[in-house]
Structure 1
């Protein structure tokens, strides 16, 4: 049976519950942060400075790689779970994903070509990349809102939190270490203190001490002294980076 628009709206309204397992919240905080930061970096890049141009190009390519991987993760795990128990809910977002992959290819190609362009053409090309990236970010902000309302509502109506955690764990098992570290760098600083403590507390129990230490080392420079103090106190760790007990 297909879900009607009215039923979809009812499912979206259910997303007001903050107590349920939320498979989208953390990664979407990371994506919003890295998208915004990359967009701002491209906007302020000096087209007369080859290093600025190269840096802008590299940042856009890295963002596109992350976004493409994110789409694949959701296609492989989130959409099948939704369609298995609430058929029809993920159709609109699935079509968005097709369009996003095309947009990702266009942005990646433009960013790759940018450093090799004639200097007289780079200013215009850099600005065009900035404008196109801004549309990509705007579209993704709306897209993520739909996932965090409509999709979460569907998942919460059809799955227990234990089942949702199993889906999340299965997805995480497919994420390469380098991508996971990149996500942690952007996700953890954007979380509030309790979310951050929950994620790192769980990681501390399941990850080898060197991996946990590496995550702390990546995140610490991006936290305010106050947030770092809250985190180390919550974890029972010394405030000096690099002193995690096995």
Structure 2
């Protein structure tokens, strides 16, 4: 792997932390789902639906914004990952088919099939994201300044529907380090930060919630954060 440069603007770091967290949590829920409990099965499959939709949206965002920027400066550099994106689209469709079959016929064997198929999808995505974070970042850092990368990042963010932003934030908040979390929220405009704080309070444990409040110099909100 080429060396990384943490000081440079990293388009992949935060969203990939959120996706890894979301993937692992969903995989673990599937591993222990009780197919004889309709509520547990519905909630687990609902989370799987959200994950697959977000993965598809993430592929679209990278194809629409990051790959054109890479190809403009270094033709062919995104070919490998672009081909893997096509494979991931097919894998998502196959997972959705297996998910529907399990919902229609809730049996342990079906749950195991979905779990194993998702485990393969997660494993492939972990390798895939690492290539993006190393090879793609190395190319982006050679081709563009941090100001240009930040402008690209803002264009991506502005293109996202609020539902996608809120879903990403739910999984991103607990996946970040305390310093990353505080830095990101400190840069938000007040209305957006208020929404983010509501999510953070629900998603963080007491210790991390207290750290965030101290870093942002805000009084802890009423109620308890997650244990």
Bin for the TM-score computed over the shorter chain: over 0.9
- The match for 1:201 is 186
| Deviation per residue, 1:5-47 (Å, 9 max, x gap) | xxxxxxx5242x1100000000000000000000000110012
Matched, 1:131 2:116: yes
Query: Which of 155, 160, 164 is the equivalent residue of 1:179?
Result: 164
Cα pair 2:67 2:78 within 8 Å, conserved: yes
Aligned-partner SS, 2:218: coil
Q: In 2, distance between residues paired with 1:223 and 1:50? A: 28
Cα pair 2:101 2:110 within 8 Å, conserved: no
Runs of 4+ in 1 over 3 A off after TM superposition: none
Change (3 A) 1:241 1:201: farther
Matched, 1:228 2:209: yes
- The match for 1:13 is 2
* TM-score, normalization by structure 2: 0.94
List gaps (5 residues or longer) in structure 2: none
Aligned length: 223
| Deviation per residue, 1:87-124 (Å, 9 max, x gap) | 2211100000000000001111221232222x5xx211
- The match for 1:216 is 197
Query: Which of 11, 34, 41 is the equivalent residue of 2:22?
Result: 34
Q: In 1, distance between residues paired with 2:183 and 2:14? A: 11
Query: Which of 42, 45, 57 is the equivalent residue of 1:69?
Result: 57
* TM-score, normalization by structure 1: 0.87
Q: In 1, distance between residues paired with 2:111 and 2:177? A: 34
Compare CA radii of gyration and give the structure with the larger one: 1
